[in-house]
Amino acid sequence: MIEKSKQLFERAQQSIPGGVNSPVRAFKSVGGTPIFIDKAKGAYLYDADGNRYIDYIASWGPMILGHAYEPVVKAIQERAVYSTSYGAPTELEIEMAELIISMVPNVDLVRMVSSGTEACMSALRLARGYTGRNKVIKFEGHYHGHADSFLVKAGSGLATFNIQQVPGITAGVANDTLVAAYNNLEQVKQLVAENKGEVACIILEPVAGNMGCILPEPGFLEGVRQLCDEEGIVFILDEVMTGFRLAPGGAQEKLGIKADLVTYGKVIGGGMPVGAFGGKKEIMQHIAPLGNVYQAGTLSGNPIAMIAGYTTLNTLKENRGIYKELEEKTIYLKQGLQQVLQDWGQPFVINQFGSMISIHFSDHPIIDFTTAAAANNSRFNKFFHAMLDRGIYLPPSAFESWFLNNALSYQDLDETVKAAKESLAAI
Ligand code: PMP
Protein backbone atom coordinates (compact mmCIF):
# COMPACT_ATOMS: atom_id res chain seq x y z
CA MET A 1 0.00 0.00 0.00
CA ILE A 2 1.49 3.31 -1.08
CA GLU A 3 -1.62 5.49 -0.94
CA LYS A 4 0.11 8.36 0.81
CA SER A 5 3.04 8.35 -1.65
CA LYS A 6 0.48 8.51 -4.47
CA GLN A 7 -1.25 11.49 -2.88
CA LEU A 8 2.05 13.24 -2.20
CA PHE A 9 3.22 12.67 -5.78
CA GLU A 10 -0.01 14.18 -7.12
CA ARG A 11 0.43 17.18 -4.83
CA ALA A 12 4.18 17.54 -5.56
CA GLN A 13 3.52 17.84 -9.28
CA GLN A 14 1.46 20.99 -8.68
CA SER A 15 4.45 22.91 -7.30
CA ILE A 16 7.66 21.08 -8.29
CA PRO A 17 8.65 20.19 -11.91
CA GLY A 18 7.78 16.52 -12.30
CA GLY A 19 7.16 16.38 -8.56
CA VAL A 20 10.87 15.95 -7.75
CA ASN A 21 13.98 18.03 -7.15
CA SER A 22 16.26 15.66 -9.11
CA PRO A 23 14.97 13.81 -12.20
CA VAL A 24 15.85 10.15 -11.52
CA ARG A 25 13.75 10.23 -8.33
CA ALA A 26 10.56 10.51 -10.42
CA PHE A 27 10.58 6.81 -11.50
CA LYS A 28 9.82 8.12 -14.99
CA SER A 29 11.61 5.32 -16.82
CA VAL A 30 10.55 2.48 -14.52
CA GLY A 31 7.01 3.83 -14.26
CA GLY A 32 4.79 3.94 -11.20
CA THR A 33 4.78 6.23 -8.21
CA PRO A 34 7.97 7.36 -6.53
CA ILE A 35 8.11 6.38 -2.88
CA PHE A 36 8.03 9.41 -0.59
CA ILE A 37 10.38 8.90 2.31
CA ASP A 38 9.40 9.80 5.82
CA LYS A 39 12.51 8.75 7.70
CA ALA A 40 15.46 6.37 7.70
CA LYS A 41 17.59 4.56 10.23
CA GLY A 42 20.56 2.27 9.62
CA ALA A 43 19.96 0.22 6.47
CA TYR A 44 16.23 0.98 6.30
CA LEU A 45 14.06 3.58 4.65
CA TYR A 46 10.49 4.13 5.86
CA ASP A 47 7.99 5.66 3.46
CA ALA A 48 5.04 7.98 4.08
CA ASP A 49 2.73 4.94 4.37
CA GLY A 50 4.96 3.32 6.98
CA ASN A 51 6.45 0.63 4.69
CA ARG A 52 10.03 -0.42 5.39
CA TYR A 53 12.64 -0.89 2.64
CA ILE A 54 16.18 -2.24 2.69
CA ASP A 55 18.11 0.61 1.11
CA TYR A 56 20.62 0.01 -1.71
CA ILE A 57 20.80 3.64 -2.84
CA ALA A 58 22.23 5.13 0.34
CA SER A 59 21.18 8.59 -0.91
CA TRP A 60 23.08 7.71 -4.12
CA GLY A 61 26.24 7.01 -2.16
CA PRO A 62 26.73 9.27 0.85
CA MET A 63 25.23 7.13 3.62
CA ILE A 64 28.07 4.60 3.74
CA LEU A 65 27.74 4.23 7.53
CA GLY A 66 23.97 3.81 7.35
CA HIS A 67 21.24 6.37 7.97
CA ALA A 68 21.15 8.57 11.07
CA TYR A 69 24.54 7.29 12.19
CA GLU A 70 24.55 8.42 15.78
CA PRO A 71 27.91 10.24 16.02
CA VAL A 72 27.00 12.25 12.90
CA VAL A 73 23.55 13.14 14.19
CA LYS A 74 25.01 14.16 17.55
CA ALA A 75 27.75 16.28 15.96
CA ILE A 76 25.18 18.12 13.82
CA GLN A 77 22.94 18.74 16.82
CA GLU A 78 25.80 20.07 18.90
CA ARG A 79 26.99 22.48 16.18
CA ALA A 80 23.56 23.72 15.13
CA VAL A 81 23.03 25.76 18.30
CA TYR A 82 26.04 27.92 17.36
CA SER A 83 24.35 29.06 14.10
CA THR A 84 24.12 27.24 10.81
CA SER A 85 26.33 29.53 8.69
CA TYR A 86 28.83 32.36 9.09
CA GLY A 87 30.31 33.10 5.65
CA ALA A 88 33.68 33.52 7.38
CA PRO A 89 36.50 31.03 7.94
CA THR A 90 36.42 28.53 10.80
CA GLU A 91 38.94 26.17 12.39
CA LEU A 92 36.65 23.30 11.45
CA GLU A 93 37.37 23.94 7.76
CA ILE A 94 41.10 23.57 8.41
CA GLU A 95 40.47 20.34 10.29
CA MET A 96 38.38 19.06 7.39
CA ALA A 97 41.05 19.96 4.82
CA GLU A 98 43.78 18.40 6.95
CA LEU A 99 41.73 15.24 7.40
CA ILE A 100 41.11 14.91 3.66
CA ILE A 101 44.78 15.49 2.85
CA SER A 102 45.76 12.88 5.46
CA MET A 103 43.46 10.29 3.85
CA VAL A 104 43.89 10.94 0.15
CA PRO A 105 47.06 10.65 -1.98
CA ASN A 106 48.17 13.48 -4.30
CA VAL A 107 46.21 16.28 -2.65
CA ASP A 108 48.25 19.22 -1.36
CA LEU A 109 45.42 21.74 -1.29
CA VAL A 110 41.67 21.21 -1.23
CA ARG A 111 38.74 23.59 -1.72
CA MET A 112 35.31 22.76 -0.28
CA VAL A 113 32.15 23.29 -2.33
CA SER A 114 28.52 22.25 -1.89
CA SER A 115 27.99 19.51 -4.49
CA GLY A 116 29.73 17.09 -6.82
CA THR A 117 28.60 19.22 -9.76
CA GLU A 118 30.40 22.25 -8.37
CA ALA A 119 33.50 20.20 -7.66
CA CYS A 120 33.75 18.89 -11.24
CA MET A 121 32.78 22.20 -12.83
CA SER A 122 35.46 24.00 -10.80
CA ALA A 123 38.12 21.39 -11.52
CA LEU A 124 37.40 21.73 -15.24
CA ARG A 125 37.70 25.52 -15.10
CA LEU A 126 40.92 25.21 -13.15
CA ALA A 127 42.38 22.75 -15.66
CA ARG A 128 41.49 25.15 -18.47
CA GLY A 129 42.88 28.15 -16.62
CA TYR A 130 46.07 26.30 -15.72
CA THR A 131 46.79 24.92 -19.20
CA GLY A 132 45.37 27.78 -21.26
CA ARG A 133 43.60 25.12 -23.37
CA ASN A 134 39.86 24.75 -24.00
CA LYS A 135 38.97 21.14 -24.72
CA VAL A 136 37.97 18.40 -22.34
CA ILE A 137 37.82 14.68 -23.01
CA LYS A 138 35.13 12.77 -21.14
CA PHE A 139 33.68 9.29 -21.54
CA GLU A 140 30.33 8.15 -22.84
CA GLY A 141 27.99 7.24 -19.99
CA HIS A 142 30.08 9.00 -17.34
CA TYR A 143 28.33 11.67 -15.29
CA HIS A 144 30.16 14.58 -13.71
CA GLY A 145 27.20 16.66 -12.57
CA HIS A 146 25.12 19.02 -14.63
CA ALA A 147 27.60 21.75 -15.64
CA ASP A 148 27.15 22.49 -19.36
CA SER A 149 30.44 20.97 -20.54
CA PHE A 150 29.62 17.57 -19.04
CA LEU A 151 26.12 17.09 -20.44
CA VAL A 152 27.34 15.52 -23.65
CA LYS A 153 26.68 11.78 -23.94
CA ALA A 154 26.35 11.64 -20.18
CA GLY A 155 25.26 8.79 -17.92
CA SER A 156 22.85 8.67 -14.98
CA GLY A 157 19.50 10.39 -15.66
CA LEU A 158 20.53 11.41 -19.18
CA ALA A 159 21.14 7.77 -20.07
CA THR A 160 18.00 6.67 -18.23
CA PHE A 161 15.82 9.19 -20.07
CA ASN A 162 17.80 8.89 -23.32
CA ILE A 163 18.57 12.61 -23.49
CA GLN A 164 21.11 12.83 -26.31
CA GLN A 165 21.32 16.58 -26.54
CA VAL A 166 20.46 19.03 -23.79
CA PRO A 167 18.62 22.15 -24.96
CA GLY A 168 20.22 25.28 -23.51
CA ILE A 169 23.79 24.17 -24.01
CA THR A 170 25.44 26.20 -26.74
CA ALA A 171 27.20 24.55 -29.66
CA GLY A 172 30.38 26.38 -28.64
CA VAL A 173 30.43 24.70 -25.25
CA ALA A 174 29.40 21.28 -26.57
CA ASN A 175 32.08 21.42 -29.30
CA ASP A 176 34.80 21.75 -26.68
CA THR A 177 33.70 18.46 -25.10
CA LEU A 178 35.21 15.42 -26.81
CA VAL A 179 33.81 12.01 -25.98
CA ALA A 180 35.49 8.60 -26.00
CA ALA A 181 34.22 5.15 -25.06
CA TYR A 182 35.23 4.03 -21.58
CA ASN A 183 37.95 1.37 -21.59
CA ASN A 184 38.95 2.34 -25.12
CA LEU A 185 42.46 3.78 -24.85
CA GLU A 186 42.94 3.88 -28.62
CA GLN A 187 40.01 6.27 -29.00
CA VAL A 188 41.42 8.56 -26.34
CA LYS A 189 44.80 8.58 -28.06
CA GLN A 190 43.13 9.39 -31.35
CA LEU A 191 41.17 12.31 -29.86
CA VAL A 192 44.32 13.70 -28.30
CA ALA A 193 46.22 13.36 -31.58
CA GLU A 194 43.42 15.06 -33.54
CA ASN A 195 43.35 17.92 -31.02
CA LYS A 196 47.06 18.25 -30.37
CA GLY A 197 47.88 20.95 -27.82
CA GLU A 198 44.21 21.80 -27.30
CA VAL A 199 43.11 19.33 -24.63
CA ALA A 200 43.11 20.85 -21.13
CA CYS A 201 42.01 17.78 -19.24
CA ILE A 202 40.70 14.25 -19.32
CA ILE A 203 38.04 13.55 -16.70
CA LEU A 204 36.64 10.15 -15.82
CA GLU A 205 34.98 8.05 -13.18
CA PRO A 206 37.73 5.58 -12.22
CA VAL A 207 35.08 2.93 -11.55
CA ALA A 208 32.04 4.01 -13.52
CA GLY A 209 28.81 4.15 -11.54
CA ASN A 210 26.46 6.13 -13.75
CA MET A 211 25.72 3.40 -16.31
CA GLY A 212 25.51 0.68 -13.70
CA CYS A 213 28.81 -0.33 -12.13
CA ILE A 214 31.56 -0.79 -14.73
CA LEU A 215 35.16 -1.60 -13.89
CA PRO A 216 38.21 -0.20 -15.64
CA GLU A 217 39.96 -2.85 -17.74
CA PRO A 218 43.57 -3.62 -16.81
CA GLY A 219 45.91 -0.95 -18.16
CA PHE A 220 43.19 1.51 -19.19
CA LEU A 221 43.59 4.05 -16.39
CA GLU A 222 47.37 3.68 -16.50
CA GLY A 223 47.31 4.31 -20.24
CA VAL A 224 45.26 7.50 -19.83
CA ARG A 225 47.58 8.63 -17.03
CA GLN A 226 50.62 8.15 -19.25
CA LEU A 227 49.02 9.96 -22.15
CA CYS A 228 48.24 12.92 -19.88
CA ASP A 229 51.88 13.03 -18.77
CA GLU A 230 53.15 12.93 -22.35
CA GLU A 231 50.79 15.63 -23.59
CA GLY A 232 50.67 18.02 -20.61
CA ILE A 233 47.00 17.22 -20.03
CA VAL A 234 45.50 17.52 -16.54
CA PHE A 235 44.19 14.11 -15.42
CA ILE A 236 41.04 14.59 -13.33
CA LEU A 237 39.65 11.63 -11.43
CA ASP A 238 36.02 12.18 -10.57
CA GLU A 239 35.83 10.41 -7.23
CA VAL A 240 32.41 11.81 -6.32
CA MET A 241 31.14 8.22 -6.10
CA THR A 242 34.33 6.32 -5.37
CA GLY A 243 35.99 8.78 -2.98
CA PHE A 244 36.03 7.53 0.63
CA ARG A 245 33.84 4.64 -0.57
CA LEU A 246 36.34 2.24 -2.13
CA ALA A 247 39.06 3.04 0.40
CA PRO A 248 40.03 5.99 2.63
CA GLY A 249 42.03 7.24 -0.36
CA GLY A 250 39.31 6.29 -2.86
CA ALA A 251 40.10 4.81 -6.25
CA GLN A 252 43.52 6.46 -6.24
CA GLU A 253 44.47 4.22 -3.30
CA LYS A 254 42.48 1.15 -4.26
CA LEU A 255 43.65 1.11 -7.90
CA GLY A 256 47.05 2.69 -7.37
CA ILE A 257 46.39 5.47 -9.85
CA LYS A 258 47.55 9.08 -9.48
CA ALA A 259 45.35 12.06 -10.32
CA ASP A 260 46.45 15.64 -10.99
CA LEU A 261 43.10 16.90 -9.75
CA VAL A 262 40.47 14.92 -7.92
CA THR A 263 36.84 15.72 -7.19
CA TYR A 264 34.68 14.58 -4.30
CA GLY A 265 31.04 14.61 -3.25
CA LYS A 266 28.61 12.20 -1.60
CA VAL A 267 30.44 10.39 1.26
CA ILE A 268 32.58 13.48 1.95
CA GLY A 269 29.49 15.27 3.33
CA GLY A 270 28.00 12.41 5.34
CA GLY A 271 24.60 13.24 3.82
CA MET A 272 24.96 17.04 3.87
CA PRO A 273 25.48 19.08 0.66
CA VAL A 274 29.27 18.89 0.30
CA GLY A 275 31.77 18.51 -2.50
CA ALA A 276 35.47 19.24 -2.84
CA PHE A 277 38.22 19.43 -5.41
CA GLY A 278 41.90 19.23 -4.73
CA GLY A 279 45.26 18.29 -6.10
CA LYS A 280 48.82 19.37 -6.57
CA LYS A 281 49.80 22.75 -5.22
CA GLU A 282 51.23 23.72 -8.59
CA ILE A 283 47.74 23.54 -10.10
CA MET A 284 45.59 24.44 -7.07
CA GLN A 285 47.44 27.71 -6.49
CA HIS A 286 45.77 29.12 -9.59
CA ILE A 287 42.45 29.24 -7.72
CA ALA A 288 41.32 32.63 -6.35
CA PRO A 289 42.39 34.31 -4.11
CA LEU A 290 45.86 32.84 -4.83
CA GLY A 291 45.33 33.05 -8.58
CA ASN A 292 42.72 34.34 -11.01
CA VAL A 293 40.73 31.18 -11.71
CA TYR A 294 37.63 32.30 -9.89
CA GLN A 295 35.54 29.96 -7.78
CA ALA A 296 33.45 30.81 -4.70
CA GLY A 297 30.44 29.83 -2.59
CA THR A 298 28.24 31.48 0.05
CA LEU A 299 27.76 28.16 1.84
CA SER A 300 31.15 26.58 1.02
CA GLY A 301 32.67 25.11 4.16
CA ASN A 302 29.35 25.45 5.96
CA PRO A 303 29.84 24.43 9.61
CA ILE A 304 26.97 21.91 9.77
CA ALA A 305 28.03 20.33 6.49
CA MET A 306 31.65 20.25 7.65
CA ILE A 307 30.93 18.57 10.98
CA ALA A 308 28.77 15.90 9.30
CA GLY A 309 31.49 15.26 6.72
CA TYR A 310 34.32 15.42 9.22
CA THR A 311 32.64 12.94 11.57
CA THR A 312 31.93 10.54 8.70
CA LEU A 313 35.44 10.69 7.24
CA ASN A 314 37.08 10.44 10.62
CA THR A 315 35.02 7.34 11.43
CA LEU A 316 36.19 5.78 8.15
CA LYS A 317 39.80 6.76 8.77
CA GLU A 318 39.82 5.37 12.31
CA ASN A 319 38.01 2.16 11.33
CA ARG A 320 39.56 0.99 8.09
CA GLY A 321 38.01 -2.42 8.79
CA ILE A 322 34.69 -0.95 7.62
CA TYR A 323 35.94 -1.20 4.02
CA LYS A 324 36.73 -4.88 4.43
CA GLU A 325 33.34 -5.53 6.05
CA LEU A 326 31.55 -3.64 3.29
CA GLU A 327 33.39 -5.49 0.55
CA GLU A 328 32.70 -8.86 2.20
CA LYS A 329 29.00 -8.01 2.45
CA THR A 330 28.93 -6.93 -1.19
CA ILE A 331 30.62 -10.14 -2.35
CA TYR A 332 28.19 -12.15 -0.21
CA LEU A 333 25.29 -10.36 -1.89
CA LYS A 334 26.85 -10.90 -5.31
CA GLN A 335 27.23 -14.64 -4.71
CA GLY A 336 23.63 -14.92 -3.48
CA LEU A 337 22.30 -13.00 -6.48
CA GLN A 338 24.47 -15.01 -8.87
CA GLN A 339 22.96 -18.24 -7.55
CA VAL A 340 19.33 -17.18 -7.96
CA LEU A 341 20.03 -15.63 -11.37
CA GLN A 342 21.73 -18.81 -12.58
CA ASP A 343 18.80 -20.92 -11.35
CA TRP A 344 16.46 -18.57 -13.19
CA GLY A 345 18.34 -19.33 -16.40
CA GLN A 346 18.32 -16.06 -18.40
CA PRO A 347 21.50 -14.12 -19.25
CA PHE A 348 22.84 -11.67 -16.70
CA VAL A 349 26.00 -9.80 -15.73
CA ILE A 350 26.89 -8.69 -12.23
CA ASN A 351 29.65 -6.10 -12.01
CA GLN A 352 31.01 -5.40 -8.55
CA PHE A 353 33.87 -3.42 -7.10
CA GLY A 354 34.22 -2.73 -3.38
CA SER A 355 30.76 -1.76 -2.15
CA MET A 356 29.47 -0.86 -5.63
CA ILE A 357 27.47 -3.46 -7.53
CA SER A 358 24.87 -3.70 -10.29
CA ILE A 359 23.00 -6.21 -12.41
CA HIS A 360 22.59 -5.95 -16.17
CA PHE A 361 20.33 -8.42 -17.94
CA SER A 362 22.81 -9.06 -20.71
CA ASP A 363 24.47 -11.94 -22.56
CA HIS A 364 27.65 -9.93 -23.17
CA PRO A 365 30.12 -8.36 -20.74
CA ILE A 366 29.29 -4.79 -19.69
CA ILE A 367 32.42 -2.73 -20.30
CA ASP A 368 31.18 0.63 -21.61
CA PHE A 369 28.06 2.60 -22.45
CA THR A 370 27.30 0.76 -25.69
CA THR A 371 27.26 -2.62 -23.96
CA ALA A 372 25.27 -1.22 -21.00
CA ALA A 373 22.66 0.31 -23.30
CA ALA A 374 22.37 -2.95 -25.27
CA ALA A 375 21.34 -4.90 -22.15
CA ASN A 376 17.69 -5.77 -21.56
CA ASN A 377 16.94 -2.69 -19.49
CA SER A 378 13.17 -3.04 -19.64
CA ARG A 379 13.67 -6.34 -17.84
CA PHE A 380 15.64 -4.46 -15.20
CA ASN A 381 12.74 -2.04 -14.80
CA LYS A 382 10.38 -4.95 -14.07
CA PHE A 383 12.89 -6.42 -11.66
CA PHE A 384 13.14 -3.06 -9.91
CA HIS A 385 9.38 -2.94 -9.26
CA ALA A 386 9.20 -6.57 -8.19
CA MET A 387 11.99 -5.88 -5.68
CA LEU A 388 10.35 -2.68 -4.47
CA ASP A 389 7.09 -4.58 -3.88
CA ARG A 390 9.14 -6.92 -1.66
CA GLY A 391 10.69 -4.11 0.37
CA ILE A 392 14.02 -3.78 -1.48
CA TYR A 393 14.88 -0.27 -2.63
CA LEU A 394 17.20 -0.42 -5.68
CA PRO A 395 18.12 2.50 -7.93
CA PRO A 396 15.21 2.97 -10.38
CA SER A 397 17.43 2.50 -13.45
CA ALA A 398 19.91 0.00 -14.84
CA PHE A 399 22.17 3.02 -15.49
CA GLU A 400 22.98 3.44 -11.80
CA SER A 401 25.23 1.58 -9.41
CA TRP A 402 23.85 0.22 -6.15
CA PHE A 403 25.67 1.32 -2.99
CA LEU A 404 25.96 -0.83 0.11
CA ASN A 405 26.01 0.76 3.55
CA ASN A 406 27.64 -0.79 6.57
CA ALA A 407 24.44 -0.93 8.60
CA LEU A 408 23.27 -3.79 6.34
CA SER A 409 23.22 -7.09 8.21
CA TYR A 410 23.72 -10.53 6.68
CA GLN A 411 20.07 -11.13 7.43
CA ASP A 412 19.20 -8.09 5.27
CA LEU A 413 21.37 -9.50 2.48
CA ASP A 414 19.67 -12.91 2.75
CA GLU A 415 16.29 -11.18 2.65
CA THR A 416 17.41 -9.33 -0.49
CA VAL A 417 18.49 -12.53 -2.24
CA LYS A 418 15.19 -14.21 -1.31
CA ALA A 419 13.31 -11.21 -2.72
CA ALA A 420 15.43 -11.44 -5.89
CA LYS A 421 14.49 -15.10 -6.31
CA GLU A 422 10.78 -14.31 -5.96
CA SER A 423 11.10 -11.23 -8.19
CA LEU A 424 12.76 -13.16 -11.00
CA ALA A 425 10.00 -15.76 -10.84
CA ALA A 426 7.42 -12.95 -11.01
CA ILE A 427 8.78 -10.97 -13.98
N1 PMP B 1 30.27 12.99 -10.43
C2 PMP B 1 29.81 11.75 -10.26
C3 PMP B 1 30.69 10.59 -10.57
C4 PMP B 1 28.52 11.55 -9.77
O5 PMP B 1 28.07 10.30 -9.62
C6 PMP B 1 27.72 12.67 -9.47
C7 PMP B 1 26.31 12.53 -8.94
N8 PMP B 1 25.72 11.31 -9.00
C9 PMP B 1 28.25 13.94 -9.67
C10 PMP B 1 29.53 14.07 -10.15
C11 PMP B 1 27.45 15.18 -9.35
O12 PMP B 1 27.29 15.31 -7.97
P13 PMP B 1 26.06 16.14 -7.37
O14 PMP B 1 24.82 15.40 -7.69
O15 PMP B 1 26.37 16.21 -5.92
O16 PMP B 1 26.10 17.49 -8.00
pLDDT (tens digit, 9 = 90+) per residue, 82-96?
999 999 999 999 999
Write down the CATH number for the domain with range 3-68+320-426: 3.90.1150.10
How far apart are the CA of 143 and the centre of ligand 1, in A?
A: 7
Any catalytic annotation for residue 229? no
Look at residues 266, 268, 309 and name the one whose alpha carbon lies nearest to residue 79.
309
CA distance 383 to 425: 10
Task: Give me the helix-helix angle, 303-318 and 91-103, nearest 10°.
Answer: 30
Residues in contact with 365: Cβ distance below 8 Å, sequence separation at least 6, in sequence order? 349, 371
**Residue nearest atom 5 in ligand 1 by C-alpha distance:** 241
Strands (E), 174-317: 177-180, 199-204, 234-238, 261-264, 275-279
CA 238 to centroid of ligand 1, rounded, Å: 9
Which secondary structure element, helix H or strand E, spans residue 359, and what is its range?
strand 356-360
DSSP reduced 3-state for 291: coil
Domain ranges for the chain:
3-68+320-426, 70-318
Q: Are 273 and 285 in contact (CB under 8 A)?
A: no
Q: Which of 55, 238, 368, 412 is catalytic?
A: 238
| Residue owning the nearest CA to atom 10 of ligand 1 | 144
Distance 151 CA to ligand 1 centre (A): 12
Ligand 1 atom index nearest CA of 205: 3
State which of 25, 136, 207, 241 you would mutate to test the pocket of ligand 1, scoring each by most atoms of that ligand within 8 A of its C-beta: 241
Say whether 138 is catalytic: no
Best mutation site among 60, 114, 120, 149 for ligand 1, i.e. most ligand atoms within 8 A of its Cβ? 120
From the candidates 143, 182, 310, 323, which is the catalytic residue? 143
* Active-site option among 28, 138, 266, 329: 266
Q: If you measure from the C-alpha of residue 187 to the centroid of ligand 1, how many angstroms do you get, rounded to a whole number?
A: 25
Is 266 assigned a catalytic role? yes
Per-residue pLDDT of the chain (427 residues; tens, 9 = 90+): 999 999 999 999 999 999 999 999 999 999 999 999 999 999 999 999 999 999 999 999 999 999 999 999 999 999 999 999 999 999 999 999 999 999 999 999 999 999 999 999 999 999 999 999 999 999 999 999 999 999 999 999 998 998 988 999 999 999 999 999 999 999 999 999 999 999 999 999 999 999 999 999 999 999 999 999 999 999 999 999 999 999 999 999 999 999 999 999 999 999 999 999 999 999 999 999 999 999 999 999 999 999 999 999 999 999 999 999 999 999 999 999 999 999 999 999 999 999 999 999 999 999 999 999 999 999 999 999 999 999 999 999 999 999 999 999 999 999 999 999 999 999 9
Q: Assign domain 70-318 to its CATH architecture.
A: 3-Layer(aba) Sandwich (3.40)
Among 21, 113, 117, say which to mutate for ligand 1: greatest number of ligand atoms within 8 Å of CB. Answer: 117
Q: What is the pLDDT of residues 33-53, one digit of tens each?
A: 999 999 999 999 999 999 999
d(CA 351, CA 367): 9
- How many CB atoms are closer than 10 A to CB 112? 26
